[in-house]
Amino acid sequence: MGTTATHCAYCALQCAMTLTADAGGRVTVGPRDFPTNRGGLCQKGWTAADLLGSPERLTTPLLRDGRSGPFREATWDEALEIVAGRIRDTQRAHGRDAVAVLGGGGLTNEKAYQLGKFARVALRTKNIDYNGRYCMSSAAAASNRAFGIDRGLPFPLPDLAETGAVLIAGGNVAETMPPFVQHLAAVVDRGGSLIIADPRRTATVERATLHLPVMPGTDLALALGLLHIAVADGHADRAYIQDRTTGFEETWRAAAQWWPERVERVTGVSVLAQRATVAQLAAGARGRGAVVLTARGAEQQSKGTDTVTALINLTLALGLPGKPHSGFGCITGQGNGQGGREHGQKADQLPGYRKIDDPAARAHVAGVWGVDPDELPGPGPSAYELIESLGADGGPRTLLVHGTNLAVSSPRGRRVVERLAALDTLVVCDVVMSETAALADVVLPVTQWAEEDGTMTNLEGRVIRRRRAVAPPPGVRSELEMLTALADRLGRGDRFSADPETVFDELRRASAGGIADYAGISWDRIDAEGGVFWPCPSDTHPGTPRLFADGFPTPDGRARFVAVEHRPPAEDVDADHPVYLTTGRVLQQYQSGAQTRRVPALAAAVTEPHVEIHPDLAGRSGLADGDLVRVVSRRGDAVGRVRLTTTIRPDTVFMPFHWGGEQAVNRVTNPALDPISRMPEFKVCAVRLERVVVSQGGSCGTDGDTGPEVSPSRRSRPTADWSEGGSAA
């Protein structure tokens, strides 16, 4: 028997837990007290260890001989030699940028850092980005331009329980991170306000004191209207605006056009509810405090950066950021969504949140890496733009994928599969055969959370320790080992280490002096203190749990109001596609479902995706509860089971995104990009609904025309033996 104190495998709450391994190797989970979860775990956390012994674990490298052949087992030496050879051949024929890398927000800080370094030093390619582009990029861009820094929460999560009013725009934490709810419940229990803006009456809304049922794609108009009321009704903190901010007058001119009645017509949120929201936030600001939080509903839009900016403007007008139990924050989603975007796997960044086109940043990081700054490539394209360029003239011909299932998680999914098929070589590192791995030429089996040491940075900016509890299965290697061995074959192995603590110590040096400064954070210190908040520039620095009390990290020390204008969704409804679609999560599943669909208890709890439809819309569409329905957009279609509910707007349907194949809703979603963050517009597009008719033989048809099919891939992949399954019957 052995016990290990560590943190959950899933979301950025990073709940503390204890893993106990018995003599037979079976691992059980127990909760551990920690500020974020306070001894609580959700169903995903309780079952997190079940995947460790899954019969679906990958335990040996797999290769294809030829484009359409089956997988065969290989040794690590053979697989790495093939990958290195493909990289060399590709770069000789097409240039360094012909090899690309896609990372993930679930990688440890050490792996995210090493992956960024590998791309810039071993491959010397500009083409690297990560799936956090789909998660945090709009909130990060808005926070950086307003505050000069991006940290999900600028205060410890327990501070939230002490505030008097909370507004959450587009977040359903009761299902996505249930232990978070206890902090919100404390607000309500003390007589405070909890306000949720969401098109659906979610489990989180059920706990709220006020619901704003905003029409999909109109969150920006709502935020402008709330700022209008704050100023026009005398709630603005004029002294704070004058002393601590810039840009208010221009911002007010934009918001002045959004009077409450106009906002009601655009958003569907009543004037009464708008005024109540501002009054409750203002009362909180005068009392215990007030907090505005955003999540993916407001951010995953083609104007997500401006939407978050407008909500930040509201908090600045009310004088919240930097005051006790007050301010603006973003609910980070992925397990290391914060740390994953700080240390170099983002297209335009170097470690420490440095810009890759900043000469001083390049010189500092190149010095740590032992290379000439001129060797470092410049910024590359964002994740979806990178995917779109795969296999095209001048685009990457070889792609290495780490910690992301882009065939399911990317918008316009059929197109993404086509682009992957156009590659000369696709290499995927994963723990199971995801839909993306099933398309690969080379699949490399890597360790998962309880089989490795490292650090994570949670939604508060608290750096914590992930500890190895069990040995990985024979034949499985860590990505640090894999990247070091591959760098060695490419002639740069002397610059890489496979030891995670050594890598973290190098990360500390590379981040020193940057916005996300980890220089004073060590593994020993994390162990002793239970986590350390960045920025922490020295061993004697206490860390920074709370930002902005003494100013903002901008050139003049002031926060910036930024004037923004509302615009409609990139795609609106019309006669052929008359219904809005929005997407999200369910309690028992996580991200693309590659892991949680393989946990028996979670798979049994939710066996297939549903489509939430208001009874009025279902009646007009000829649909009944339990029917199979095909959701069709201009890009593709997905099949789910009708769930009638009055908790959603009559003009909107909702579908979760945790399934692949015909059930993958991201075959439907819109890749229209935010012009600043390059975030795709996952949260709103136009669709029509078609009842699926199942024949006696089990095949699916529809009552109507599903529209033109996307042309089949030029590169057919036999995936039956390795796919995740789960297609609609």
290-294: strand order across its sheet: 210-212, 193-197, 165-169, 290-294, 327-330
Residue 725: pLDDT band (50, 70, 90) is very low
Give Cα separations from 203 to 45, 188, 498 (angstroms): 19, 15, 43
Give tens-digit pLDDT for 491-522: 999 999 999 999 999 999 999 999 999 999 99
Q: Assess whether pLDDT exceeds 70 at residue 702.
A: no
The span from the CA of 20 to the CA of 547, in Å, is: 37
Which residue, 440, 351, 323, is CA-closest to 72?
440
Each residue's pLDDT tens digit, 115-135 = 999 999 999 999 999 999 999
The C-alpha atoms of residue 716 and residue 427 are separated, in whole angstroms, by 17
Is residue 593 left, alpha or beta, with left meaning phi > 0 and alpha meaning psi from -120 to 50? Answer: left
* pLDDT reported for residue 34: 97
Q: What gap in Å lies between CA 421 and CA 234, rounded to an integer?
A: 58
Q: What is the 3-state secondary structure (H, E, C) of 128-194?
A: EEEHHHHCCHHHHHHHHHHHCCCCCCCCCHHHHHHCCEEEEECCCHHHHCHHHHHHHHHHHHCCCEE
CATH number for the domain whose boundaries are 579-702: 2.40.40.20
Q: What is d(CA 587, CA 702) in angstroms, rounded to the nearest whole number? A: 30
User: 2-51 has which fold?
Assistant: N-terminal domain of TfIIb (2.20.25)
Amino acid at 511: S
Is the model more confident about 720 or about 630?
Answer: 630
Residue 700 banded pLDDT, cuts 50, 70, 90: low
How many Å apart are CA 568 and CA 217, to the nearest integer?
A: 7
3-state secondary structure 287-348: CCCEEEEECHHHHCCCCHHHHHHHHHHHHHHCCCCCCCCCEEEECCCCCCCCHHHCCCCCCC
How many Å separate Cα 629 from the centre of its chain? 28
CB contact set of 604 (below 8 Å; sequence gap of 6+): none
Question: How confident is residue 340, by pLDDT bands cut at 50, 70 and 90?
Answer: very high
From first CA to last CA, the distance across the chain in angstroms is 44
Half-sphere exposure of 493 (CA within 13 A, CB side): 11
The residues, any chain, with a CB within 8 Å of residue 299's CB and separated by 6 or more, are 136, 138, 139, 170, 307, 308, 330, 679
The pLDDT tens digits for 381-439 are 999 999 999 999 999 999 999 999 999 999 999 999 999 999 999 999 999 999 999 99
pLDDT level of residue 635 (50, 70, 90 thresholds): very high
pLDDT per position as a tens digit, 213-247: 999 999 999 999 999 999 999 999 999 999 999 99
In single-letter form, the type of residue at position 400 comes to L
Query: What's the pLDDT score for residue 632?
Result: 98
Give me 629's structure tokens.
Answer: 């329905």
Cis peptide bond prior to 535, omega within 30° of 0: yes
Task: Answer whether 222's CB lies under 8 Å from 269's CB.
Answer: yes
pTM confidence score? 0.94
Average pLDDT of the residues of the chain:
94
Question: Would you kindly state where each structural domain of the chain is located, as residue ranges?
Answer: 2-51, 90-135+338-533, 143-331, 579-702
Which token pair is 462?
């608290």
Q: Is the pLDDT of residue 699 over 70?
A: no
Reported as a single tens digit per residue, the pLDDT across 650-687 is 999 999 999 999 999 999 999 999 999 999 999 999 99
- What would the pLDDT profile of 434-449 be if each residue is shown by its tens digit? 999 999 999 999 999 9
What is the percentage of the chain residues whose pLDDT exceeds 70?
95
Q: Could you give the count of Cα atoms lying within 13 Å of 235 in the half-sphere of its Cβ? A: 25
d(CA 486, CA 474): 20
Q: Is domain 90-135+338-533 given the CATH code 3.40.50.720 in the classification?
A: no
Per-residue b or e along 52-63, where b marks 16 or more CB atoms closer than 10 Å to that residue's CB? beeeebbebbbb
Please check whether residue 380 is in contact with residue 389, taking contact to mean a CB–CB distance below 8 angstroms: no
For residue 723, pLDDT over 70 is answered with no
- 3-state SS of 345-387 is CCCCEECCCEECCCHHHHHHHHHHHCCCHHHCCCCCCCHHHHH
Q: What pLDDT score was predicted for residue 67?
A: 72
pLDDT tens for each residue of 55-69:
999 999 999 987 778
Helix (H) or strand (E) segment spanning residue 92: helix 76-94
For residue 707, is pLDDT > 70?
no
Asked if 442 and 427 touch (Cβ cutoff 8 Å), the reply is yes
- Tell how far CA 299 is from the center of its chain: 11
Lowest mean pLDDT across 56-70, 88-102, 181-195: 56-70
pLDDT surpasses 90 at 143? yes
Q: DSSP state, 25?
A: S
Query: What is the token pair recorded at 232?
Result: 């026009």
What value does the mean pLDDT take over residues 102-106?
Answer: 95
Q: Is the pLDDT of residue 100 over 50?
A: yes
Considering Cα of 162, then 164, then 168, then 174, what sign does the dihedral take?
positive
CATH architecture for the domain at 143-331: 3-Layer(aba) Sandwich (3.40)
How many residues make up the chain in this entry? 729
